[in-house]
Amino acid sequence: MDYRYFDMGTVVAIIAAWVDPNRNRPILEEIPRAAPFLEELDEIYATLGRLQLTESAYSKTLKALTQQAGELDSTHDKLYKGLHGMITVTSELTCDADYAEKLDEMRDRFFPIGLKGISQTYLAESGYATIAEMKVTEEDKALLTGITYNERTLLQDFEDWVTAGKALGEVEAKRTRLQEREGDTGTTAGDIRDARISGLRLVDMLATILEMPGTTDEETKNILLQPLRRAEEKALQKARRKSQEEEPDIETTQQQIDEALSEGEVGTEEDADESVTGS
């Protein structure tokens, strides 16, 4: 039985039906081979329920941080390119060689790797912005203030870039810590995975016991295994969809071959024979 497509919620739902006093628990208690599993089912159900809440909170927090990091990165990149470009253009257009030299020196100090600075990791981009803030001088500020557009100065853009870069680093650090340790509970991704696997093994063991001849009658067995069978059917449907997505479209592939042959892009068997015989 393939349980790869059984997520945490599915495992919890199956076990919940078995341990609930208002559902299948009374039936299991009357089956000698199955009753001993109830204590372990209770324990794993409690563990899975706690971890499911943790996983849900973790996923929501991670999604929010990822979205925030993406927005900050967009702001960072826009300001980075704008600052780099405006300083470069001003340097190229000015007739004052000394002024141009100061602009070029400042630009290279703030952006030592040029436009490659927008394709770095979030933490690296944050680092470059932080370093630029540390290196900016009063003369730099005066130069940046002197370059204006739409009633804004480049100094304002510089400050906004630094702010976005530093915030990006903080968000990415939070996201990294969250991925290493899920929340403040000390629960790791490994804990959730191991609990899910333990739950699946217990489900499989009990299902095997219930399927054994002499364990219980057919009607009772069907009642107890109904949640599992429903989950299996959904898992099979999911597996089929995934398989269909991965399989190549044979008709389309053949059509592409036929089109290539008609256009002379692919050699025919006759072509191959001629190349061998030299005729």
Report in angstroms the alpha-carbon separations of 88 from 126, 148, 245, 276: 22, 14, 48, 61
Predicted pLDDT at 250: 47
Same domain, residue pair 190 and 273: no
Same domain, residue pair 9 and 84: yes
Query: Average pLDDT in the 181-206 region?
Result: 75
Same domain, residue pair 99 and 190: yes
List of residues 6+ apart from 233 with CB closer than 8 A: none
Residue type, 76: H
Question: 10 Å Cβ neighbour count for 159?
Answer: 16
**What distance lies between CA 203 and its chain's CA centroid?**
29
Same domain, residue pair 115 and 219: yes
Q: What is the pLDDT of residues 50-71, one digit of tens each?
A: 777 666 666 778 888 999 999 9
Predicted pLDDT at 246: 58
Query: Average pLDDT in the 188-200 region?
Result: 79
Please count the structural domains in the chain. 2
Q: What is the pLDDT of residues 154-166, one digit of tens each?
A: 999 999 999 999 9
Same domain, residue pair 192 and 263: no
Boundaries of domain holding 260? 252-279
Q: Which of 13-17, 141-145, 177-181 has the highest mean pLDDT?
A: 141-145
Same domain, residue pair 227 and 124: yes
The domain that holds 153 is classified in CATH as 1.20.58
Same domain, residue pair 257 and 239: no
Same domain, residue pair 220 and 256: no
DSSP per-residue letters across 52-105: HHHHHHHHHHHHHHHHHHHHHHHHHHHHHHHHHHHHHHHHHH-S-HHHHHHHHH
Judged against a pLDDT cut of 50, whether residue 267 lies above it is answered with no
Same domain, residue pair 223 and 165: yes
Judged against a pLDDT cut of 70, whether residue 251 lies above it is answered with no
Same domain, residue pair 128 and 154: yes
> With pLDDT > 90 as the criterion, what percentage of the chain qualifies?
55
Predicted pLDDT at 265: 44
Q: Are 189 and 62 in contact (CB under 8 A)?
A: no
Same domain, residue pair 148 and 194: yes
Predicted pLDDT at 279: 42
Report in angstroms the alpha-carbon separations of 118 from 76, 77, 89, 126, 240: 8, 5, 19, 10, 41
Q: What is the pLDDT of residues 35-45, one digit of tens each?
A: 999 999 999 88
Judged against a pLDDT cut of 50, whether residue 252 lies above it is answered with no
List of residues 6+ apart from 212 with CB closer than 8 A: 33
Predicted pLDDT at 274: 45
- Mean pLDDT over all residues of the chain? 83
Judged against a pLDDT cut of 70, whether residue 12 lies above it is answered with yes
List of residues 6+ apart from 250 with CB closer than 8 A: none
Predicted pLDDT at 259: 53
CA atoms within 13 Å, Cβ hemisphere of 13: 12
Q: Of 94, 183, 182, whose CA–CA distance to 146 is shortest?
A: 94
Judged against a pLDDT cut of 70, whether residue 262 lies above it is answered with no
Q: What is the pLDDT of residues 232-242, one digit of tens each?
A: 888 777 777 77
Same domain, residue pair 82 and 34: yes
Q: Are 71 and 149 in contact (CB under 8 A)?
A: no
Judged against a pLDDT cut of 90, whether residue 121 lies above it is answered with yes
Predicted pLDDT at 241: 77
